[in-house]
Every structure is written in structure tokens, then in C-alpha cells.
Amino acid sequence: MNRAVVEACGTPFDLSLEAIAPDKSISHRCAMFSLLSDRPSTVRNFLRGEDTMASLSIARQLGAEIEDRGDVIRITPPAELREPDDILDCGNAGTGMRLFCGLLAGVEGSFVLTGDRYLRSRPMKRVTAPLQSIGAKIDGREEGNLAPLHIRGGRLKAFRYESPVDSAQVKSAMILAALRADAPSHYRESFLSRDHTERMLRGMGVSITTEAEGWICITPPKGPLEPLDITVPADPSSAFFFAVAAAIIPGAKVRIPGVTLNPTRIEAFKVLEAMGAAVEYRLHEDIYEPIGEIRVAYNGRLAAVEVSQRIAWLIDELPALAVAMATAEGTSRVRNAAELRVKESDRIASVVAALQACGIETEEYPDGYAIHGGVFRRATIDSHGDHRIAMSFAIAGLLCGMEIEDIDCVATSFPNFFEMLSRITEVQI
């Protein structure tokens, strides 16, 4: 198990982050959705993280031909998805497992989805229960809640499903299942979760329309979809670690080009702005997604903030935001964020434990935490195998130095994170 020692960063930095990790959510979807066409998809800037490479390997096991030319990956789908002769390993990826459940539920054959020990302990009932209710045959430990999951794909009924969680993974699994159902299906969530699936599938020719009272209607296509031709934008969730770095180090600034400006993904930048950081957005193009540049600069000590709305739009950035909150003047609070408990680790417990180790006063709530802004102290942090905890506290290390244990997980989403961090400070692995 590797550890990183991050030293305090002595001088302000002005960083242009051309090589920020490509978007994880969109990369997973490229690997999966290319299977729905009958022609090759072209994907540039695919995230070469362990999570998304696992999805690409699964696409190959299902019969796709993957031609990896370095900067471009060409994915040629099979005429019919193939029943694989081995298990499908999603690694650490909840997105991989939940979306493949929806994609495979309507495909003839037997499929076993598994993952690492962290993924095998995460709840899958949120997708397996609604899929079972429309005819999918899925089984797993705890009555289909825990992987390994066995799917025996078959005919699916159209549905009208109102999700109890605002989750893009649940929504995407159900949309993928709806593509193979026997009639148009309807789906509703109480607050719009990230909408890459809707945007990309519409771009591939699927009819997904918005109806009254927040329902969307998904019509099964009559034939194969248009292939994807896409350049994956930079991942705002990965970029956000460096945005926090710029917001807490006096005199620092970062420029993040080619990043998705999808409103369901950049809410954390808005919160950082509300805390007093200087943040600018420049829209450059709109291909599947609005894409542009974000600039963040230090603008004095941050002020405390309360976050309890639009949680689905910043759920992945809350650990890094917690580091910003810990430096702010006053008490910040996060509420309505119980979903944090079922991420790659229980992120409420991991954030609170790590902040306390750093001498920051915190209180834990069932659905969030309070953070009393103060001064970080160097500590040894256990990542709990969670990439976002490891990276968030590496950023806190810029203030006072930090030792992070169990950093291998960073490779799931941002393989060059420490290399990039070493452009601003001394890092030893």
C-alpha cells in the first residue's frame, strides 16, 4: 500500500492545468453507449483511470473491438452483445456496476458483475429493485443488494418509476433498461442529477423528452443508435482539487481549460465563489455538453458557508470543499448529504475523522457535518481506499504538509494527480 508525503507549498503558484484528468462520468458512458450503435464510435481524451478502463474491458468482453491509438480510441460494437465466458470486473466503480446492470438487464444471456472489496460492500438495491420490478432477473447477496450480481437478461416491461434518490447512476441504469423495454417509459427524480446520459443518448438519436412535473419519457429506439464522435472534456470534479488549492494559498491561481461547464457538475465552484474565491467561467463550445474554461484565484481568507441545496450537483466535490471550509472564517455546515455515506467510503465519517486528525473542530450529523474553520495541522490521514479523500487531504497538505496512507485508489479517477501536485510542491511517494 503506497503512501504520499506532501510538503507545504512555500510560494504562490500560477498553474495552467492542460492535463487535468478527462471526465470519469462521460468516459464510462462512452465505453458503454458505443455498444448501442452498429458503427464504430470515436472517443478522444478517454480517461485512462482504473475505473473507466474497467468499463472499456467489459465492453471488450461483451464483444466490442477496441482499437487504442493513444489519443483516440475507436470502439466497434458487435452485431449482438456477446455472453461473456468470465465475470465482468467493475473494479472500484459504482458507476460501472450500476449502469451495466441497466444495460445488460434487457440483453439475452448470463452476466456476472463484480468489483473490488469496497464496491462489493456498496448498495446495489437502488438499481436492482427497480430493474427487478420491470422483469429483470438479477440476484446477489442480501437479496440482490450486494455484488457479485448475477443478471440473466431478458424481456423488460415499460415503466413509470419515481426514484427515491437523486442519483444519476440509478437514472442512467433505468434509461438504459428503457431502451430495451416494450413501450415508452417514464422516470422522475425530485432534483435533476447529472444529465450526461440524457445529453449523450439524445446526441445518438434517442428520444428522451421532458414532460410535465419533471417526468422524462424514454422511447425505445427502432434500431441501432448513431455512433459517438466525442472529445471527453476535463473532469470538473478532478479539477476542483486544484481550484481549492488556489482558493486557500495566498496569491495562487489556476486555469482549467477544456472542462465541462454542465451546470449539474460545477456547483462546487459556485460555492467556492460564494465563500469569496475569485472564479471565472468562459464558454467555448457546446458538443453534447457546454465546454469551456474555469479560472480560480485566491481572493483573501474564505468565509464560512452553509450547503444544503442542490447536493446532487456537488456530491463528489464535498470532501475537497470540506478542506476549503476548514480554512474559512466561521462555521460551515453541510446538510441533506446522507448519500455521502454510500460513496467509495462513508465520506461523512472519513471527512470528519481526517479533519479532526488535522486539529479542525467538527461535528458529525447523520446527513452531513459542521466544520469550524481553523488552522490545519500536519497529520497522517487514512484514505479508507477512497480516491477523493486521498486527494482532498493532499491538497490540505499544501498548507502544512500531510502524510496520506493508501493512495493507490487515486489511480481510479486521476492517475496523474500527484505528478500534477508536484508542479506546486514537493511530493514523495
Q: How far is the CB of 168 from ligand S3P (least distance, A)?
A: 3
Do residues 335 and 365 touch, judged by C-beta distance below 8 A? Answer: yes
- Residue type for 414, please? F
Q: How far is the CB of 346 from ligand S3P (least distance, A)?
A: 14
Q: Which residue in the shown chain puts its C-beta closest to ligand S3P?
A: 25
Cα distances (angstroms) measured from residue 8 to each of 377, 387, 421, 425, 426: 11, 21, 11, 7, 8
Which C-beta is closer to ligand S3P: that of 291 or that of 379? 291
* Pairing of β 216-219 and β 253-260: unpaired
Of the residues 51, 166, 235, 316, only one is catalytic, namely: 316
Q: How far is the CB of 276 from ligand S3P (least distance, A)?
A: 26
Which C-beta is closer to ligand S3P: that of 239 or that of 297? 239
Angle 25-340-417 (CA atoms, 0-180°, nearest 5)? Answer: 50
> What's 269's DSSP letter?
H
> What's 306's DSSP letter?
E
Which C-beta is closer to ligand S3P: that of 255 or that of 347? 347
d(CA 195, CA 171): 9
316 is annotated as an active-site residue: yes
Which C-beta is closer to ligand S3P: that of 174 or that of 296? 174
φ and ψ of 198, to 5 deg: -65, -45
For residue 332, the cross-strand partners are 371
Q: How far is the CB of 408 from ligand S3P (least distance, A)?
A: 18
Q: How far is the CB of 194 from ligand S3P (least distance, A)?
A: 6
List interacting residues with ligand S3P (CB under 6 A): 25, 95, 167-169, 172, 193-194, 315-316, 339
Cell numbers 474554461: residue:
293
Which C-beta is closer to ligand S3P: that of 326 or that of 340? 340
Edge-to-edge, what's the strand order for the sheet holding 72-76? Answer: 65-68, 72-76, 41-44, 229-231
- Residue type for 65, please? E
Active site residues: 316
